[in-house]
Structure formats: structure tokens, C-alpha cells
Amino acid sequence: MPSKDVVEAVGDLHRGLIVETGNVLATTCWETADSLTIFNVYGTILLLELFGQITTDMVGAAQPNFSYTGVTPAIAITDICAVSASIAGLNVGHRVVWPGGTVAGVLLISGNEYLSPGATGVPFILGGVTAAGVNFIGTIQADGSVADATAGAVIFTCAYVPLSPGSYVTAAV
């Protein structure tokens, strides 16, 4: 049997690198007034999957989405998907999943605690590199609209492939 390092390396090549946040209160990430930075992006990446898994039952009719903001150079906040239906009543294990493919794609909500759709569209290229080879710095946010989540918690996961030298993603929360 191959060593764990070889198995992990093959997994990274196949599914991308994985970064997870800690447990985030829904009241801090899915509210109408603010967005919460959940990941920092350095350089150019190919975003394969982005989702939040519910860790404490959701309360409140928030309709979340994800967005990207350029820090260096400064780029205004840009949605990377459309808002979802209400997440009120989602239980532990349910997921909200970035659909991939198009900015107009609606954030997907899993049908049950055991089965979730993955990104159904083409992966996104996020970030960039200057002509001098300096990596852009940006952030991925969890946003809410329409109504606030009043209770619940979530862990966010990002799967990506680095495209520029030295590019990577870190959890911000």
C-alpha cells in the first residue's frame, strides 16, 4: 500500500486542496447588513467547490450567497453566485453549495443531511498576478440578503487548485 503522503498527494491532485473554517455563527455571516470574510485568496486559483455545512440548526429566513473582493489591487465586492432560497429550518448536516459555472447560478441547498449536490458548473478562476509576478490578494465572503439568520452555525469548506506560483487559500475565521 502506498504511503499516506502519496495517497494524500494524489487526492490533492484529483480533488484540489481543501481549506476549512472553524465553526461560524450564522448570525455573523448570514445577515442583511454585512458580509463575513471566510477565506483569503493569494494569487490565482481555480475554485472547484465552496460550501457551508450546517453544524447547528438554522433559524431565520436568511438567503445566503458567496462573493469575492479584491484587496490588492482593490476590486469591489462581486457576487460569485445568486442568492439561495431561505435557509430557515436547515438541520445539522445540510449544506449550502456554490453552484459553479455562472454568477447567475443560485446557491444550492442540500436535500438532506447525507447527500448534497457538488458544483454543477465549470470552476471559476479567482485572483490574479501582476506583470511583475506579485500575487493579487482577495477574499471570499459569506453574505446574507432579505432577512437575517437568528440562530445556527456553519463550517465553510473551499476546494481549489493553485494556478500561479505561490498561490494559496487560508481560512479567515
- Residue 25: which pLDDT band, with cuts at 50, 70 and 90? very high
- Residue 148: which pLDDT band, with cuts at 50, 70 and 90? confident
Give the start-end residues of each E strand in the chain: 17-20, 24-25, 35-42, 45-59, 65-72, 75-79, 95-97, 108-109, 124-126, 137-143, 151-162, 168-171
Q: How far apart are CA 57 and CA 35, in angstroms?
A: 20
Domain positions in the chain? 19-171
What is the pLDDT at residue 1?
44
Angstrom CA distances, 118 to 42, 56, 131, 142, 149, stand at 24, 21, 34, 18, 24
Q: How far apart are CA 42 and CA 71, in angstroms?
A: 10
The hierarchical CATH code for the domain 19-171 is 2.60.120
What is the pLDDT at residue 157?
96
Q: What is the pLDDT of residues 100-147, one digit of tens each?
A: 877 777 888 876 666 666 766 778 899 999 888 889 999 999 998 778
Q: Work out the mean pLDDT of the chain and round it to a whole number.
A: 87
Run of H or E residues at 93 = none
What are the start-end ranges of the H helices in the chain?
4-15, 26-29
In DSSP terms, 20 is beta-bridged to 157
The angle at the Cα of 162, spanning 114 to 14, to the nearest 5 degrees, equals: 45
In DSSP terms, 24 is beta-bridged to 154
Q: Which three cell numbers stand for residue 11?
A: 487526492
Q: What is the pLDDT of residues 151-171, one digit of tens each?
A: 999 999 999 999 999 999 999
Q: How far apart are CA 155 and CA 131, in angstroms?
A: 36
The single residue listed with the C-alpha cell 448570525 is 27
- Residue 3: which pLDDT band, with cuts at 50, 70 and 90? low
Amino acid at 85: A
pTM: 0.90
